[in-house]
Amino acid sequence: MKMIISFVLGVLFVSMVFGCTPYHSQGVSTGAAVGGVAGAILDHRNPWRGGVIGGLIGAITGATIADIGYRGGREAYYHDKPVEYYTEDRRGRYYAEPRGYNERTKCRKIREKIWEDGKLIRDEEREICEGQKYEPRY
Task: Give the pLDDT confidence of 109-127 residue by residue, as tens digits.
Answer: 889 998 888 898 889 888 8
pLDDT digits (tens, 9 = 90+) for 37-93: 888 888 888 888 888 888 888 887 777 777 777 888 888 888 888 999 888 888 888
pTM comes to 0.61
Residue 47 included in any domain: yes
Domain that holds residue 52: 2-129
Residue 7 included in any domain: yes
How many structural domains does the chain have? 1
β strands within 19-106, DSSP E: 83-86, 92-102
Burial status of residue 96 (CB atoms within 10 A of its CB: 0-12, 13-18, 19 or more): buried
Residue 137 included in any domain: no
Cα(60)–Cα(117) distance, integer angstroms: 20
Instruction: Report the side by side order of strands in the sheet with 107-116.
Output: 83-86, 92-102, 107-116, 119-129
Please name the amino acid found at residue 50.
G
Residues 6+ apart with CB under 8 A from 115: 92, 93, 95, 121
Residue 83 included in any domain: yes
Whether 18 has a pLDDT exceeding 60, the answer reads: no
Residue 134 included in any domain: no
Residue 48 included in any domain: yes
Residue 51 included in any domain: yes
Residue 136 included in any domain: no
Residues 6+ apart with CB under 8 A from 37: 51, 54
Query: Is there a contact between 81 and 118 (Cβ–Cβ < 8 Å)?
Result: no
The pLDDT value recorded for residue 111 is 92
Tell me if residue 112 falls in helix, strand or coil: strand
Whether 134 has a pLDDT exceeding 70, the answer reads: no
